[in-house]
Structure 1
Amino acid sequence: MTLANGGDNIGIYTPSFAIRSAHEIIVIAVVFVVMTALWCFVAHAIVNHPKLGSPIRRCGHRVTPFVLVGLGVLILYQAGSFGLLLGRSGF
């Protein structure tokens, strides 16, 4: 799903990968694959839980955008993109 989303992910992940070595990128990719599988399993289990599933299905679409925007801002901050935007070498 992440690879299929396209341009917005390129804009977010490019600064993050630009400051990493080849070894770090490989580690990030492996961790990403393992954690994606783990999170999919956990999410499936939680959404299908008798007590937890109903509220999550009812409110999840409202919370998701805030989580994704927060993640994007964190990645841009850690990559120093805000400093570049403001004309500084670091933020």
Structure 2
Amino acid sequence: MSWEIWGNGDCFGEMAILEQPLKHLTALSLAPVQLLVIPAQRFLQLQIMQLIIRRSIKLYLRLQMLDYSPKSNLIKTSHPAL
């Protein structure tokens, strides 16, 4: 059993989706709350999309660094025809 107090914007239960068999969790609220339920399959799709986006951003930043590195600028400007 675990006791935790969460605030606005916090989420819980996401790790239970990854475990097999699925766990059933109980949460108690100390005050009125709005609850957003995301089906497991949709949550996993969102997780995959976030991973793809993070990898794309890392690749984009790496390509930008290569494009602006002194070595690549030298190659680009070393010949008048380039």
Is TM (by shorter chain) over 0.5? no
Bigger radius of gyration among the two:
2
- Identify the structure with bigger relative contact order (alpha carbons < 8 Å, sequence gap 6+): 1
Please tell me the TM-score bracket, short chain as reference. 0.3 to 0.5
